Amino acid sequence: MRSRVLMMLALLTLSPCGAQDLPWPDAAPDQWLLAFVDVETTGLIPGYHEMIDIGIVMTDLSGAELGDLFLRVQPDHPERIDDGARAVNAFDVDRWRELEAWSAEAAIDRIVRFHNGIAGDRHVLMVAYNSHFDAAFLDHLFRSRERSWRELYHYFVLDLPSMAWSQGIRGLTGSSLSETLGIDDEPHVAEQHTGITGAKLNARVYRALLARGK
């Protein structure tokens, strides 16, 4: 068991060109991009609850936007929707059908095509708000169809509240951080609150933190 774990860790730390040859962002910023990711879900437990939409905004390291993607995803187990989640994202099976939500397989293929079309052979860091949550649901979506989200992103994942914390900003919610940074918050009306509104907020937060750091 231990040897399998060590092998998996070794695979995660290697890039196609080898970890020792990896052009890191400080040395080769033009070879790296950022993917600001935000997901809406049927609840808080990855593997039991599921992703029901995803927004992705791709940028260079300065935060200049290169493209975005928004998909609604029809979950396999919509009956598991948590009341709290529904209040946030207004998920409803029939509404999702009317809005032409994608199947999990089709959503994964679309995400990969979008990623490859912009990134090419450049390395991409995933950036999210409370990043372990989004990474866990992205991982579950891909693994549910025997794929890996590591097809897309480097094994380092960046977290926006941690960036803000390092600048002395102790508010943890998106709204408090938006107010502190003087940027527009995302909508908090359930029908308007989606992965892409969250992903675009994430990109705004990042750009504001870069400017504040200067």
Question: Above 60 in pLDDT, residue 12?
Answer: no
Question: What is the pLDDT at residue 13?
Answer: 43
Question: What is the pLDDT at residue 19?
Answer: 53
Mapped onto helix, strand or coil, the DSSP state of residue 98 is: helix
DSSP conformation letters of 105-133: HHHHHHHHHHHHHHHTTSEEEEEETTHHH
Question: Above 90 in pLDDT, residue 20?
Answer: no
Question: Above 80 in pLDDT, residue 67?
Answer: yes
Q: How confident is the model at residue 181 (pLDDT cuts 50, 70, 90)?
A: very high
Question: Above 90 in pLDDT, residue 146?
Answer: yes
CB 22 within 8 A of CB 15: yes
Joined tokens for residue 180: 């502190």
Mean pLDDT across 175-184: 96
Question: Above 60 in pLDDT, residue 18?
Answer: no
Question: What is the pLDDT at residue 15?
Answer: 43
CB atoms within 10 A of CB 144: 16
pTM: 0.90
Q: How confident is the model at residue 2 (pLDDT cuts 50, 70, 90)?
A: very low
Task: List, in sequence order, every beta strand (DSSP E) within 123-210.
Answer: 123-128, 157-159
Q: What is the DSSP letter of 102?
A: B
**CATH fold of the domain at 28-213:** Nucleotidyltransferase; domain 5 (3.30.420)
Neighbouring residues of 194: CB distance < 8 A, sequence distance ≥ 6:
40, 53, 55, 70, 89
Residue for token pair 């400017």: 211
Question: What is the pLDDT at residue 70?
Answer: 98
Q: How confident is the model at residue 21 (pLDDT cuts 50, 70, 90)?
A: confident
SS3 content of the chain, % helix, strand, coil (to 5): 50, 20, 35
Q: What is the pLDDT of residues 38-60, one digit of tens each?
A: 999 999 999 999 999 999 999 99
Bridging pattern class, strands 65-72 and 123-128: unpaired
Better pLDDT: 141 or 1: 141
Mapped onto helix, strand or coil, the DSSP state of residue 189 is: coil
Tell me what the pLDDT averaged over the chain comes to.
Answer: 92
Better pLDDT: 1 or 54: 54
Domain range summary for the chain, segments of one domain joined by +? 28-213
Q: What is the pLDDT of residues 79-111, one digit of tens each?
A: 999 999 999 999 999 999 999 999 999 999 999
Comparing CA positions, the residue from 166, 159, 169 lying closest to residue 128 is 159
Q: What is the DSSP letter of 20?
A: G
